[in-house]
Structure 1
Amino acid sequence: MQVTERSDAATARRAQVVEATIGVIAEEGFARASFARIAERAGLSSTRLISYHFAGKAELVSALVEHVVGDIGRHVGGLVMAAESPGARLSAYIEGVVGYADSHRAQMSALMQVAMAGAGGEATSGPSDLGHLERILADGQSQGEMRDFDTHVMATTIQRAVETVVFRLQADPALDCAAYARELVELFDRGTRADR
């Protein structure tokens, strides 16, 4: 029992540090995200409490990326899985990503800044895994709901379009994200659907 309690405490402390890191990066920028600033934000008495859980800033940033990307995946994945057709799954994906960016602005700002700094490793510097989008599009084609097109090109275009909302929110915090998502859904519905 004692080992589980220690494990639970360690998991909670790691989560506390990751959340504080998100807050510091989102509000002050990646360059100012020192262990001292993170410890202060987390209410920790010493940076050693961070070093105990993370070998260095690179490991902490990697944990941040894993946390945010995993959270996005769970949120969007649930919406996509509930949709009944490829077109509805594509709409759910677009609305899910844009909606997550709207309701999780600090997380998305931190993720964007990590990516811009080239600090997130493969998860932020390499090409996105477009397999999920390509499968939705391929299913739409095989079911006759979507026209013939290169699924990789279309998936890349969709992904870049939804990622852009983070930059728009930085420039215009009052952006109507629901309208933004509706416009993208309409655009990609018109761009993918089979002629009827």
Structure 2
Amino acid sequence: MRVTGALSPTAAQRREQIVAATIEVLAENGYAHTSFAKIAQHAGLSSTRLISYHFSGKDELMRAVVVAAKDAAMEFIAPRLSATSDRREWLATYITANMEFMRERTAVLRALIELNSNARAAVGEPFLDDTGADSPLTALEQALREGQSAEELGDVDAHVLAVTLRAAIETIGIRYAVDPTIDVNFYATQLVTLFDRATASEGREDR
């Protein structure tokens, strides 16, 4: 029987434990080789039935992982962004925070990559919504438009800028997930310089 309705603190804690173990197993083994048995072993559970009690199947569990991974990224990046004073600084911080997240939360990064590629093929639909109102792309585009409205950023198409930056971050993320020796600080510095120049407003002195 799967638990339904409002969760008790104990049930919520157990779900978090299972999701955290799933992230680690996905990062280490990949989606195809992530099973309830491996998750239970990693989490120190006595039986896979404890997973089935909380999740109806692998698909529901993986979607819970996506939510947890997005929350982890938001908790890591959002405080850094809220401490910025203008959109130029915000954009630079956005880039460096994403690079730092890759380095410090690599297991989450790898899990997300697995879910958005292999899980998507298995299920037949994307696990990560890149077009919704709360997607990273939409949020970034909105922030860029706000910077342009405040005349802190130059008048370059915000959608194109957002798509380009997200593509760069995601491509670096895929490379780093495979080869963690890649210098993400170097990428961060180069991307900050590139997008600072691309968004320079007229008459503004470059850094």
CA distance in structure 1 between the aligned counterparts of 2:124 and 2:100, rounded to whole angstroms: 23
Match for 1:156: what amino acid?
V
SS in 2 for 1:31: coil
Q: Which runs of 5+ in 1 are unaligned?
A: 1-5
Partner of residue 177 from structure 2, selected from 149, 170, 173? 170
State the identity %. 40
CA distance in structure 2 between the aligned counterparts of 1:180 and 1:120, rounded to whole angstroms: 33
Shift, 1:166, TM fit: 1.7
Number of corresponding residues: 191
- Distance of aligned partners of 1:81 and 1:53 in 2 relative to their CA distance in 1, 3 Å threshold: same
User: Which digits, 9 at most, give the CA deviation of each residue in 1:84-121, with x for residues without a partner?
Assistant: 10111111111111111110001110110010021596
Of stretches 184-193 and 139-148 in structure 1, the one that deviates more from structure 2 is: 139-148
RMSD (CA atoms): 1.8
Shift, 1:143, TM fit: 2.4
Which residue number corresponds to residue 14 of structure 1? 15
Which residue number corresponds to residue 161 of structure 1? 168
Match for 1:151: what amino acid?
A
**Aligned positions of 1:1-196 closer than 5 A:** 7-117=8-118, 118=120, 122-124=126-128, 126-127=130-131, 129=135, 130-196=137-203
Shift, 1:156, TM fit: 1.0
Structure 1 stretches of 4+ with a deviation exceeding 3 A read 119-123, 125-128
CA distance in structure 2 between the aligned counterparts of 1:41 and 1:22, rounded to whole angstroms: 10
Asked if 1 retains the 8 angstrom alpha-carbon contact of 2:115 and 2:127, the reply is no
SS in 2 for 1:124: coil
- When normalised by structure 2's length, the TM-score is 0.86
Match for 2:109: what amino acid?
M
- When normalised by structure 1's length, the TM-score is 0.90
CA distance in structure 2 between the aligned counterparts of 1:127 and 1:45, rounded to whole angstroms: 40
Which residue number corresponds to residue 3 of structure 1? none
CA distance in structure 2 between the aligned counterparts of 1:173 and 1:120, rounded to whole angstroms: 30
SS in 2 for 1:30: coil
Asked if 1 retains the 8 angstrom alpha-carbon contact of 2:109 and 2:177, the reply is no
Q: Which runs of 5+ in 2 are unaligned?
A: 1-6
Shift, 1:7, TM fit: 1.4
CA distance in structure 1 between the aligned counterparts of 2:65 and 2:172, rounded to whole angstroms: 20
- Distance of aligned partners of 1:159 and 1:126 in 2 relative to their CA distance in 1, 3 Å threshold: closer
CA distance in structure 2 between the aligned counterparts of 1:54 and 1:125, rounded to whole angstroms: 21
CA distance in structure 2 between the aligned counterparts of 1:171 and 1:74, rounded to whole angstroms: 24
